[in-house]
Every structure is written in structure tokens, then in C-alpha cells.
Amino acid sequence: MIYAHAASIALGKRDDVVRVLITASLETRCARVASDGQLGEKEAARLVRESDAARADYLRQFYRVEEEVPTLYDLVVNTDRLSPEQAAELVLAAVGSPPDAAR
């Protein structure tokens, strides 16, 4: 298993990979960053936006991807309403791994 910035692009032409994007709305991601109580909502939002910008810059600089779109992936999992465990189960089902592999 390979997971990293732009792995889906670097390996995109291979037939033996499943390209997965785990995502959530800006609001959900900000709330998760702020959930440990270390940061306020505004600071968490700033960090998420900076991370999004850095990811976009990386994709643009190294892969000439102007916009990250769902068609770059085989499976897009929105975790706004799914738990991490549910998301993992979906990914494992998509790649054909046994359920015990996630545990």
C-alpha cells in the first residue's frame, strides 16, 4: 500500500492500483483539527486552508495538475458522515482486502 501526496497521480497509469481519496467538507476538517482543544476554530481553519493550499501547490509544481478532481481517483470517500472505521471498511472492500487487515 502506498499513501502520499499525489500517489494517485504518480501511479495513475498503473492497472494494479486503486486510487483512493479520503475527504470531508472544510467545516468537518476544521472541526477535527480543533477537536483536541489545542486550537480555536479560527486557527484550525487557517491550518486547514494552508494545508489545502500547500497540497494544491505541490500538485501544480510536480505534476502540473491545476485542479484536483474526483476523476483522478477510483474511489472517493467523504468522511463527513462516515467514521474512520466505516471509511476503512469501504476502502478495504474496494481493494479486495480481508476485513481483518484493517485491524
Amino acid letter, residue 94: A
Query: What pLDDT, in 10s, does the model give residues 38-83?
Result: 999 999 999 999 999 999 999 999 999 999 999 999 999 999 999 9
Closest listed residue to residue 78, CA positions, set 18, 11, 29: 29
**Domain ranges (residues) in the chain:** 7-102
Query: Residue 93 pLDDT > 80, yes or no?
Result: yes
Give the cell for residue 21: 481519496
Rounded CA gap, 40 and 6, in Å? 30
| Total Cβ atoms within 10 A of residue 15 | 4
pLDDT band for position 98 (cuts 50, 70, 90): low
CATH class given for the domain over 7-102? alpha beta
